[in-house]
Amino acid sequence: MGTGSYFSEPRMLSSVMKKISSGRGLKLVSVLLACASILSVTLLYYTQNSFLEAFEAKTYDLRFKNMRGALAPNPDIAIIAIDDKSIAELGRFPWTRTEYARLITKLSEDGAKAILFDAFFPEHESSKADQAFADAARRAGNVVLATSFNLDQELNVSGRTGSIPEIEGAVSGIGHINFLPESDGVNRRGMLLIEDGEKYIPSLGLVGAMAALGEKEFVPGSFDIALGQRHIPVNENYSMWINFTGPPNSYPQYSFSDVVDGRVSPALLKGKVLFVGATALGIYDMRVTPFDGNTPGVEVHATVADNIISGRFVNQTGLEALCDIVFIALMGAVAYFLTTRLRLYSALPATLLLSAVYVWFSYAMFVQGHWVSMIYPPIAAFTALLVGGSFRFLVLERSARQMRAMFSSYLSAKLVARLEKDPEAAKLGGDSKEVTVLFTDIKGFTSYSENHTPQEVVARLNEYLGEMVQLVEQFDGAVDKFIGDGIMIYWGAPLTQPDHAELAVACIHAMRKKMDELRIKWKNAGVEPFFIRGGLQSGEVVAGNIGFEGKKMDYTVIGDTVNQAARLESTAKFYGVSFLVGESTYERTCTVCRYRELDRIRVVGKQLPVRIYEPAGFSSGMDGVMIDAFNAALALYRDRKWREAQSQFAEISRQLPDDRPCRIYIDRCEYFAGNPPQDDWDGVFNRDEK
């Protein structure tokens, strides 16, 4: 195989792409875009974007109804229901106050701990009825009535509606029943206190909890309300997130009429905090809650009391806000990191999985009483993925796609994958690298071609080349080009491979075994087999793209190392061996492979001689013993002991009659015995052919 004008002096190389020094800048832009997207989501979180807050509020409902489900209610709370049954038995609503007096008296006799009316009586009915209500409440000593405030947009009091003084003066307490529904109409928070002048009026639920806990006072704080040893988390308006127990009818309910007529066992009422309120749909005291759109208001007050008594709060304080910010940043960063390790279509489901894990985490935190955002961190993740990741894919991955298109035809998939992750490693603009270069050729291919049809030649050649390319990929080499029946291969570029020489030597041993298999296969099929030879050399080269940019470019390696490998391949024919290894490759692999030194030669066009070696196992019978004998004979030859050397080479040749190097040295010894070289003879053989 002729090497032609293979790569003499290194020249300036053109690059298929812009120098990837700008790639670092693009990566920085990608990172900055991802950071900007995370910062944007953080700002949306701080400004409480109404659109996203609406979604976040819906996740609050989702956690109750679709994820957590109902909880067991506090057993100390029950509801006296003004229901359809009671209206049917007692007559059209509203009822006379004497019925309420009967209820208070009966509940007091049954040992109720507190009686809280989700109702107020702002007008006089009659002196008899009003007095009966007031007397019953005064005797019971644990009756609480409702009141309602008119509030402006700033939640300042502009008016109040309560019961008539005769009744209000007879009860033990007052609790407001104002609701604070969200913009979508769902009641998620309960105002525990309303500031009326210099007084704080507690909600009916708070009063019920105080009665159950035996507390007489509450102490408003900045973001909590102290109730004895309990601290109720609230916002600046003293509103508490309600931890809803369940759908309507979660609490035990007893019909108003059943209680006053004695049809309810006193044991069910004794020691209980009893909320009296309407549950009949026709009375229109229904509220929208996360569980249901028709929840009686009295059940919401009971739920507030239950939260305080049981300590089942939903916290959304500074700690939860800090957690949200941390996870917004963390989720965004992890999602962007995924784009640096995965393709976009793989990073997307990975981010979906990451978000699902976070949703599970936020739900687990919710069950523990902490409301961390379920919306903002996943939004940060997908925003970082789509903004930073898409930019990376569209701009940075373009270089990876170009890299893949350029190298996939002659690099192993493993190396191509590494190049895609780190395109800069290729140094496509030209770079000095330490490599090992291999040239292979088919022995006597011209004669083989003449003796077979073109179809047979192409079939055998394709089969051979296919097997060799697979071996090269297996040993992480790069197929540079096919030169007729020859192959040029290298290791150590475009990616640096510290063990390039060892990989190359391992590859040629695998090639030898594969050729043995192919020859057996061809022989059995009645096809004439052929043999290959090759030359291997390691050293410094220039690696880069050569050609006409935009038209035809090839990534290759050039330099003296390439030339030497090509010369070694052709020199192998002279010595009658399959593979020759240069001195530089020998020095890098002599600890992992046994060699016999064949000669010191000076190739055409070079002044400095090089040692050449044959790897063990490539010549039949040339085992370790024979290699030692050959090396001993070679040492005698270089000591000018021609006859002794000739005798030892002849002995080896008798045992290995097909070993051409022995015959070459027998002839040289015979010549030098009659024509001694000059005193400055250095033992170098000058090759005058390429």
Other beta carbons within 10 Å of 326: 12
The pLDDT of residue 406: 57
Query: For residue 612, what are the β-bridge partners?
Result: 582, 599
Asked if the structure places residue 689 within a domain, the reply is no
The pLDDT of residue 61: 86
Asked if the structure places residue 139 within a domain, the reply is yes
The answer to whether the beta carbons of residues 372 and 322 sit under 8 Å apart is: no
The pLDDT of residue 688: 62
The reported pTM is: 0.58
Asked if the structure places residue 613 within a domain, the reply is no
The pLDDT of residue 17: 35
Asked if the structure places residue 610 within a domain, the reply is no
Pair 578, 499 in one domain: yes
Asked if the structure places residue 387 within a domain, the reply is yes
Sign, CA dihedral 573-577-581-587, equals negative
Other beta carbons within 10 Å of 498: 9
Pair 441, 487 in one domain: yes
The pLDDT of residue 20: 34
Inter-CA distances, 537 with 187, 428, 432, 533, 564, Å:
81, 23, 16, 14, 7
The answer to whether residue 226 scores a pLDDT higher than 80 is yes
Pair 359, 460 in one domain: no
The CA distance from 221 to 620, in Å, is 96
Across 161-175, 236-250, 321-335, 394-408, least confident range = 394-408
Q: What is the mean pLDDT of the chain?
A: 85
Pair 590, 533 in one domain: yes
The CA distance from 402 to 389, in Å, is 18
The answer to whether residue 686 scores a pLDDT higher than 50 is yes
Query: For residue 202, what are the β-bridge partners?
Result: 193
pLDDT (mean) for 13-18: 33
The pLDDT of residue 1: 39
Inter-CA distances, 604 with 1, 437, 688, Å:
16, 19, 6
The pLDDT of residue 683: 85
Rg of the chain over Cα atoms, rounded to whole angstroms, equals 47
Q: Which amino acid is at 361?
A: F
pLDDT (mean) for 416-427: 56
Asked if the structure places residue 7 within a domain, the reply is no
Pair 355, 437 in one domain: no
Instruction: Locate all alpha helices (DSSP H) within 266-317, ordered by sequence.
Output: 297-310
Last-in-domain residue among 543, 571, 601: 601
The answer to whether the beta carbons of residues 149 and 196 sit under 8 Å apart is: yes
* Choice between 212 and 27, residue whose per-residue pLDDT is larger: 212
Asked if the structure places residue 484 within a domain, the reply is yes
The CA distance from 473 to 212, in Å, is 79
The answer to whether residue 216 scores a pLDDT higher than 60 is yes
Helix (H, G, I), strand (E, B) or coil at 58: helix
Pair 557, 463 in one domain: yes
The pLDDT of residue 114: 95
The CA distance from 126 to 214, in Å, is 35
Q: Which amino acid is at 323?
A: C
The answer to whether the beta carbons of residues 684 and 652 sit under 8 Å apart is: no
The answer to whether residue 415 scores a pLDDT higher than 80 is no
Q: What is the DSSP letter of 537?
A: E
Pair 431, 575 in one domain: yes
Rounded (5°) CA angle 408-410-411: 65
- The pLDDT confidence band at residue 399, using thresholds 50, 70 and 90, is low
Pair 90, 62 in one domain: no
The answer to whether the beta carbons of residues 525 and 539 sit under 8 Å apart is: no
Pair 306, 340 in one domain: no
Query: For residue 82, what are the β-bridge partners?
Result: 278
* Choice between 41 and 417, residue whose per-residue pLDDT is larger: 41
Asked if the structure places residue 11 within a domain, the reply is no
Q: Which element (helix H / strand E) includes 440?
A: strand 431-442
Tell me the pLDDT tens digit for each residue of 585-634.
Answer: 999 999 999 999 999 988 766 678 889 999 988 887 788 889 999 999 99
- The pLDDT confidence band at residue 10, using thresholds 50, 70 and 90, is very low
The answer to whether residue 549 scores a pLDDT higher than 70 is no
The CA distance from 120 to 615, in Å, is 105
| Residues with Cβ within 8 Å of residue 593, at least 6 apart in sequence | 505, 509, 615, 616
Pair 589, 645 in one domain: no
pLDDT (mean) for 132-141: 94
- List strand residue ranges (DSSP E) for 567-609, in order: 579-582, 595-602
Kindly state the percentage of the chain with pLDDT values over 90: 51
Q: How many domains does the chain have?
A: 4
As a dihedral over the C-alpha atoms of residue 155, residue 157, residue 160, residue 166, rounded to 10 degrees, the angle is: 120
The CA distance from 419 to 513, in Å, is 30
Pair 58, 79 in one domain: no
| Domain assignment of residue 37, given as a range | 21-66+317-403
Sole residue written with tokens 């509020």? 57
Last-in-domain residue among 348, 382, 403: 403
Inter-CA distances, 301 with 208, 297, 307, 371, Å:
9, 7, 10, 21
The CA distance from 338 to 335, in Å, is 5
Last-in-domain residue among 294, 310, 326: 310
Cis, peptide link before residue 94, omega less than 30° from 0: yes
- The pLDDT confidence band at residue 369, using thresholds 50, 70 and 90, is confident
Task: Report the length, in residues, of the chain.
Answer: 690
Q: Which element (helix H / strand E) includes 560?
A: helix 560-575
The pLDDT of residue 8: 29
φ/ψ of residue 217, rounded to 5: -135, 155
β-sheet with 219-220: strand ranges across:
219-220, 224-227, 230-233
Pair 179, 276 in one domain: yes
The answer to whether the beta carbons of residues 273 and 208 sit under 8 Å apart is: yes
Sole residue written with tokens 């790639």? 23
